[in-house]
Structures are given as C-alpha cells and as structure tokens.
Amino acid sequence: MKDFQTPILVVQKLRKQFGLGCDHCRDMKPEHLEKNYCPKCGTVYACRDVSFELYEGEILGVVGESGSGKSTMMQCLYFDQEVTAGTVSLRSYKNGKNMFAESAQQKRYIRNNMFGMVYQNPIMGLNMSFSAISNIAEKLIAAGNRNVAAMSNRGQDLLDEVNIPLFRIKEPPKNFSGGMQQRVQIAKALSNNPPILLLDEVTTGLDLSVQANVLDLIKKIQRELNISMIVVSHDLAVVRMLADRTVVMLNGNIIESGLTDQILEDPQHPYTQELVYSLL
C-alpha cells in the first residue's frame, strides 16, 4: 500500500543569503530589512527560513512576485546554489538524511536520479548545440548508463511523448521554437523517472496556445506517472490549473499556504489578496 501520510520531500528552514549579514539584520526581522535586503550592509535574504512539505503525486504551486525568492529556492533544491542554512530530506533517500549536507558527488547523484528540473530559460537546462536526443541522453549518461541503444530508445520514447517529431530529434535545440525547447527540457527532466520534478516558470514567455500545450503535458505526466512536482509561477492561472496546494512567497518568506482553491477564493494575507484581486 502506498504511504500517503508521510511527505515525500520535506524542506525545513531553507535560508539563502547573499552577503555576510551584520548585527543589524542578522535576526531577519521585517523592521530591520527593506523588503528582503539590509539597508546597512546590503545583504540580500533571498529565502528566509522557508519550510514546506511535498506529498506523493501532488503538485505544489509556488507563487509570488519577482524577487520573492521562488527561483532561488528552486535552484537551492536542485543544488545549483549552496544554501546558507536549512535542511531538505527525501523519503526515498537514506531514510530522510539532510541532502544539503551531502558531498558534491552525492549531490550530483541525487540531481541525476531523484530530481528533474525544467528552467524558465531553456539555455540553462539544455546544451543548445548538441542534438535533442543527446540532451536527453546526458542525464542518463550522468546516471551511469553506458548503452547507446537503450539511451537512444528511451530518448525517442520521451521525445515522442512530448510531441517532438521523430525526424527532428537529431537537430540541436537551438533550431527549435521556444515551446519545443521547453518540451525537450521536460523530456530530459523525465528521463530517469525522477520521483520529483521541479518546474520553474515553464510557461512564461510562451504564447497562449503553446502554453496550453505544455500545461496539458504536465497534467498528463502527473496523471500517468504519478510524479510529485513543485511548480513555480507568477501566473495565478497556471497555478490554478495545475496545483493541488499552493504556497505564496513574499520577500523570501512563505506568507500563506493552503489548498489552491482556498487561497484563490479566500486569501487571508493582504499581499495575497492584492495578488488575487489584480488578476484580470
């Protein structure tokens, strides 16, 4: 039987600051900071003790304005950036050992086997001059696969899954449209069947019909593969469509969390209210 009660991913007091901090700002009290940075020493507190949980098969939405720390949080979870403090644990990894404290090699193992990441900008997630199929193989190779036939089959299946025509899979992604690049990224992120997928503003900058395509794909992946996802977006419509639960971030803090419907219909925090009512 599946365990629905214990979360698959637990993030506790994740903190990411840029700068050393000073006596004035170290307590991170709102009255000592201007938004998320200290006017005395210039330290930026991108994420201030962010804590949340992710359950199996669930999509967690993260909304907030630009600079609220959403992307920094995602990059910390994917080990693109070192955290200042905090813990993250995965149910399936060493009985919930804190992964931030692992060695660089272990982190790479976790990245390649436990997580898939889709960046807002495909340049971050893809090698633009290698073929689409090699891009997918990259993650498989990194996870230790050394069989060309197996990798190229897996790559073809995945690219087919995300509707990239078979005759274009040997082209480099730089020849592709923005929506196609995003779909290649999704295929790449899925290549190792990760239990968790991190999606950072995946539909931002895409036109509406392509957006709908990508969102459909994400929904389908969740339904069919039962993968847990964290979806970052500043677009409430995207979050409304995808997310079961949502957290709202402001100045590096989580200011509100709950069921997506609840947050969108009955926002409690003044900022969330502003955000919801400004929705066209």
Partner 1 sequence: MGTKYNFAFFDEGSKREIRRATLKAVAIPGYQVPFASREMPIGRGWGTGGLQLTLSLIGEKEILKVIDQGSDESVNAVNIKKLIVSTTGVQTTIDTRKATLIQSRHRIPEIPLNKEQILVLQVPIPEPLRVVEASEHKTKRLHSESDYSGAWLMLFEQIMKYDSVTHGADYPVIVKDRYVMSPSPIPRFDNPKLNNSEALILLGAGREKKIYAVPPYTKVISMAFEDYPFRVESFSGQKCHLCGAQGVYLDEIIDEKTGEAYYQCNDTSNCLMRLNGGK
Q: Does 152 bind partner 1 (CB under 8 A)?
A: yes
CB closer to partner 1, 105 vs 278: 105
CA-to-CA distance for 131 and 126, rounded, in angstroms? 10
Provide the minimum distance between the beta carbon of 188 and partner 1 in the complex, in angstroms, as a whole number. 12
Q: Does 166 bind partner 1 (CB under 8 A)?
A: no
Per CB under 8 A, the segment of 83-91, 127-135, 238-246, 254-262 that binds partner 1 is: 127-135
Q: Note whether 148 binds partner 1 by CB under 8 A.
A: yes
Among residues 9, 83, 137, 186, the one that binds partner 1 under rule CB under 8 A: 137
Indicate the residue among 191 and 253 with the shorter CB distance to partner 1: 191
Span 49-108, contacts to partner 1 by CB under 8 A: 104-105, 108
What is the nearest approach in angstroms of partner 1 to the Cβ of residue 130?
A: 5
Question: Does 138 participate in binding partner 1 (rule CB under 8 A)?
Answer: yes
- Near partner 1 by CB under 8 A: residue from 146, 277, 278, 280: 146
Residues that bind partner 1 (CB under 8 A): 104-105, 108, 127, 130-131, 133-134, 137-138, 141-142, 146-149, 151-152, 170
